[in-house]
Structure 1
Amino acid sequence: MHTSPILASDVWIDHPHGRLFSRVWRHASTGRADSENTPIVLLHDSLGCVDLWRDFPALLAFETGCDVLAYDRLGFGRSDRREGKLPLDFIADEARTYFPVVCEQHKVNRFIAFGHSVGGGMAVHCAAQYPERCEGLITESAQAFIGEETRAGLLEAKGLFEDERALSRLAKYHGDKAAWVLDAWLGTWLAPSFAAWSLRDVLPAVRCPVLAIHGALDEYGSSRHPETIAEHAAGPSRVHILPGTYHVPHKERPGEIAGLVAAFSSR
């Protein structure tokens, strides 16, 4: 285990569609990133951003010895706003359009992709899109398809966000983009045109080792989601179900998640 202090640095990334905000956590003793480093790249959930990972990236860097990189997707957090509705292929498009620019800016060659919730689906596409570069895939609370539990969880969340105070809390992290962020989540996932979405077609292109983490009490889907990821991915896959855990394991059980990732990355 590395014991040197973890340093965080912020980097702005120019993209043709708008500026993206990113942050990297690394051990003080390692200095600057280089082409031999294999960082863990975090992809956030539907309402997430860099700041909402809170202390977890620093803990992850400490436990794994890896650099950890996170960025705000366009329209989220500190990144520039995004106009209009998300395209129906926005999950796959993140891997094609934005992820490679982030990697280029940070001089990332090989990587471990770690995605939470919808970020897990994006991480799957990153692993499939760049099979020679992705050394490992970690999904946490990822949806593999839209089932009845997923839809029920979304409808319950929609009711909660009818309270203006909930939107105000969202604005703390997304500013005046908060209403767009909420619609990009609920409006997209509840749209009839999105109902047939799944990861099944892309998973066979994932050749790296896979760790699919899921809470037994996840509000947005049963264990069938990580099981589907593991069953359909081509690489060696492991499912880890956390008892008594809901949709955000890295917040509910940060030390355990960091330990799971450290054991996975060391292999």
Structure 2
Amino acid sequence: METNELYITIPDGKIYVKKWTPATVTEETPIILLHDSLGSVDLWRNFPKELSENLSQPVIAYDRLGFGKSDSREKLPSIEFIHEEASKYFPIIKEKLNIQEYILFGHSVGGAMSICIAALDRYCKGVITVAAQAFVEDKTIDGIKKAKEFFESSGQLQKLEKWHGEKALWVLRAWTDIWLSSEFSSWSLQNCIQHVKCPVLAIHGEDDEYGSIAFPEFIAKNTGGVGQLSIIKNCKHMPHKEQSEKVINLTKHFIQKHILSSK
């Protein structure tokens, strides 16, 4: 396994990128990981390496601007931040990395971003969403409120500082302030998902504390191409960590059946 780390410069700052390349590559199309609201490249932990080894494909992950090892942002994102990642930031990152065709693997809000990217780019050959939101539920709001209270209690912000350094409070507010705002309450994937033509696999934990199975059902049902649903029992919001082997196997089978078979 070969790993490479680099920074790429975009108009608003520098983006940290890491790539995993297995010893034997049987498929050159990279799988690009998009992290969750509190996530980073390092918080994927060993999953990218395991995914790359099992699928014999390169895997790429990057820290969005304001997260992890990427440059900080002064202002909080707008309520259009999901679409902005798809339309403004991702295309530049893709171009800087000299990527044409690719597969997206997005966790939580990274899954929602993956759907929006696929709706805009015909070179996206497939999407795997994991615990992705499709709209805003009461369960989503309740879960975020509990998380906000947890991190605002004494000493808990240090858990985020380990991964985001001095950007930790910004990362927390970029999640909680936006999602709990009244302006964001009407957000959904409705406008973009119908434009997705590539195959989509929606994976969701049955006990996800931030959203019901209505999310993956919506994604699988409303995509403009092949839509597949997989609900994992005894699993919460982190399927790729809680049941990584199952998630990797689901991903591998889906890619082989619906993406590589059509090449």
Q: TM-score range by the shorter chain?
A: over 0.9
Kept in 2, the 8 Å contact 1:37–1:110? The answer is no
State the partner residue of 1:33: none
Deviations 1:149-168 (A, max 9, x none): 11111111111112232200
State the partner residue of 1:113: 104
Hey, what's the Cα distance between the residues in 2 that align with 1:105 and 1:164? Answer: 41
1:194 corresponds, among 184, 204, 217, to 184
1:11 corresponds, among 6, 26, 38, to 6
State the partner residue of 1:60: 51
Hey, what's the Cα distance between the residues in 2 that align with 1:29 and 1:85? Answer: 42
Hey, what's the Cα distance between the residues in 2 that align with 1:26 and 1:240? Answer: 27
Kept in 2, the 8 Å contact 1:64–1:265? The answer is no
State the partner residue of 1:210: 200
Superposed displacement of residue 201, structure 1 = 1.1
3-state DSSP class of the match of 1:212?
Answer: strand
Matched, 1:222 2:217: no
Q: Mind listing any 5+ residue stretches in structure 2 that lack a counterpart?
A: 258-263
Hey, what's the Cα distance between the residues in 2 that align with 1:266 and 1:39? Answer: 14
Hey, what's the Cα distance between the residues in 2 that align with 1:109 and 1:255? Answer: 28
State the partner residue of 2:261: none
Letter in 2 for 1:23: K
Letter in 2 for 1:192: S
Deviations 1:10-39 (A, max 9, x none): 011100100000001011345xxxxx8211
Kept in 1, the 8 Å contact 2:24–2:56? The answer is no
Moved over 4 A (4+): none
Letter in 2 for 1:22: V
Hey, what's the Cα distance between the residues in 2 that align with 1:126 and 1:207? Answer: 11
Hey, what's the Cα distance between the residues in 2 that align with 1:60 and 1:98? Answer: 25
TM-score normalized by the length of structure 1:
0.94
Hey, what's the Cα distance between the residues in 1 that align with 2:8 and 2:114? Answer: 19
3-state DSSP class of the match of 2:190?
Answer: coil
Hey, what's the Cα distance between the residues in 2 that align with 1:201 and 1:128? Answer: 10
Letter in 2 for 1:9: N
Superposed displacement of residue 77, structure 1 = 0.1
Superposed displacement of residue 87, structure 1 = 0.9
Kept in 2, the 8 Å contact 1:25–1:68? The answer is yes
Greater shift in the superposed pair: 7-16 or 50-59: 7-16
Deviations 1:26-85 (A, max 9, x none): 11345xxxxx82110000000000000000000000111111000000000000001112
Matched, 1:160 2:150: yes
CA RMSD of aligned residues (A): 1.2
3-state DSSP class of the match of 2:234?
Answer: coil
3-state DSSP class of the match of 1:136?
Answer: strand
State the partner residue of 2:74: 83
Hey, what's the Cα distance between the residues in 2 that align with 1:42 and 1:200? Answer: 22
Kept in 1, the 8 Å contact 2:35–2:108? The answer is yes
Hey, what's the Cα distance between the residues in 2 that align with 1:159 and 1:115? Answer: 26
Greater shift in the superposed pair: 164-173 or 48-57: 164-173
Hey, what's the Cα distance between the residues in 2 that align with 1:201 and 1:104? Answer: 25
Deviations 1:113-143 (A, max 9, x none): 110000001000111010x201111100000
3-state DSSP class of the match of 2:250?
Answer: helix
State the partner residue of 1:50: 41
**What is the identity percentage for the equivalent residue pairs of Structure 1 and Structure 2?**
45
Greater shift in the superposed pair: 132-141 or 44-53: 132-141
Hey, what's the Cα distance between the residues in 1 that align with 2:224 and 2:126? Answer: 12
Letter in 2 for 1:99: F
Deviations 1:221-264 (A, max 9, x none): 10000000111111111110000000000010111111111111
